[in-house]
Amino acid sequence: MRKIVIILILLTLSFGCKEFMKRLAVKELDFSLVRVSLIDYTLSDMTLKLDIMATNPNDIDAVIDRLDYSFFINEKNAANGSTLKRITIKAVRKKTVSTELTIDYLNLGAAILEAVKDKRADFRIEGKVYIDTEIGSISFPITLFYP
């Protein structure tokens, strides 16, 4: 009976350690903003789809519990967003994470006029990738540019 208890404890610790390593693998991920697409627009706002590519060079899966970010258009903070679901990037693979966000034109001011006038806009995401652990959340900063 004692051996069974010891084996169960070791299996539990092993599983917990493996899950923790999957979360720590996040710090080795390479992120890039690959696409910004207009989904819809009205007279007062627009909805964009942001495609973020996550490349996992690790030999284990990486787990992101959430991503909180600020989206900038021509250096002006346009909106803030968050992914609300857990994302797993398989070992030595790439995964595109898509998120939508609605931007009120009033928040952009001159930046939107400049983008329309120049027929070009520079986009940037600044954010934090979070992993949840038994002792709390750990975050890693990211900054992405497009184009």
The one-letter amino acid code at 147 reads P
Please tell me the predicted confidence (pLDDT) of residue 15.
46
Angle of CA points 100, 107, 104, to nearest 5°: 45
CA distance 2 to 56: 41
Question: Closest Cα partner for 100 from 31, 143, 40?
Answer: 40
Domains parsed from the chain with CATH numbers: 2-146 (2.60.40.10)
Please tell me the predicted confidence (pLDDT) of residue 22.
58
C-alpha count within 13 angstroms, C-beta hemisphere, residue 64: 30
Phi, psi of 142 (to 5 degrees): -135, 150
Please tell me the predicted confidence (pLDDT) of residue 38.
92
- pTM of this structure: 0.74
Please tell me the predicted confidence (pLDDT) of residue 131.
84
Q: 136-146 and 66-73: which strand pairing?
A: unpaired
Per run of 10 residues, the mean pLDDT along the chain (length 147 residues) is: 49 50 70 93 92 91 90 89 90 93 82 77 91 82 89
Token readout for 12 is: 């539990």
Please tell me the predicted confidence (pLDDT) of residue 3.
55
